Structures are given as structure tokens and as C-alpha cells.
Amino acid sequence: MAKQLVWFVTGTSSGFGAEFVEQILARGDKVIATARNVDKIEHLKAQGADVLQLDITASQEVMDDKAAEALRLHGRIDVLIHSAGYIQFGSWEDVE
């Protein structure tokens, strides 16, 4: 039997991040799903994911605390998927 991995995924309220969590749970692995608003990922918690609030623009101190909190859940993280972010379209003069 394959080793059960522990995954940590950012930006799981939509898009690739949400899809990764669904696929990881379907594999039978553990997943720590993060979002800046955990209300948006209650359904992932109901499916068996561990849920952690995380805004990726937070300070290093907050990040360190979040990493420690995540490590306490299963004692390790085997795979990190960083999916949080956004794409901004427009001409160079228009985007900030």
C-alpha cells in the first residue's frame, strides 16, 4: 500500500486549489486546505480536509505561526502546492 501523504494547499476556495484538494482526498491522502476566508471551504472540511486560515500576504511572523500550526496537525508536510494568487490582465500602463 502506498504511503499516505500529507499535502498543504493554498488558495483552495476556488480554481486549481479547490480541485487539488478534491483529488487529494480521493487518493486517500491527508490535506491541509487553506484559504483567507475559511467559510468558503467548509465543504472541504466536511469531506475530511483539515482547514487553516491563511492569507499569503500576511507577515513572516504570521506565516511562521501558520507553518507551526500546520505541522502540529500531522507532524509533517510532504507536499506543498501554492495555488493562491491572481492573474491581472491589461496593458502595462493600466495595471498596478
Ligand X SMILES: NC(=O)c1ccc[n+]([C@@H]2O[C@H](COP(=O)([O-])OP(=O)(O)OC[C@H]3O[C@@H](n4cnc5c(N)ncnc54)[C@H](OP(=O)(O)O)[C@@H]3O)[C@@H](O)[C@H]2O)c1
Q: Which is nearer to ligand X, 28 or 79 (CB)?
A: 79
Contact residues toward ligand X (CB under 6 A) are 10-11, 13-17, 35-37, 40, 55-57, 83-87
Q: Which is nearer to ligand X, 7 or 10 (CB)?
A: 10
We find the least distance from the C-beta atom of residue 4 to ligand X, in angstroms, to be 25
Residues 6+ apart with CB under 8 A from 69: 52
We find the least distance from the C-beta atom of residue 79 to ligand X, in angstroms, to be 16
Measured CA distances, 53 to 2, 3, 28 (Å)? 29, 27, 23
Residues 6+ apart with CB under 8 A from 75: none
Residue nearest to ligand X (CB): 15
Q: Which is nearer to ligand X, 4 or 62 (CB)?
A: 62
d(CA 52, CA 49): 10
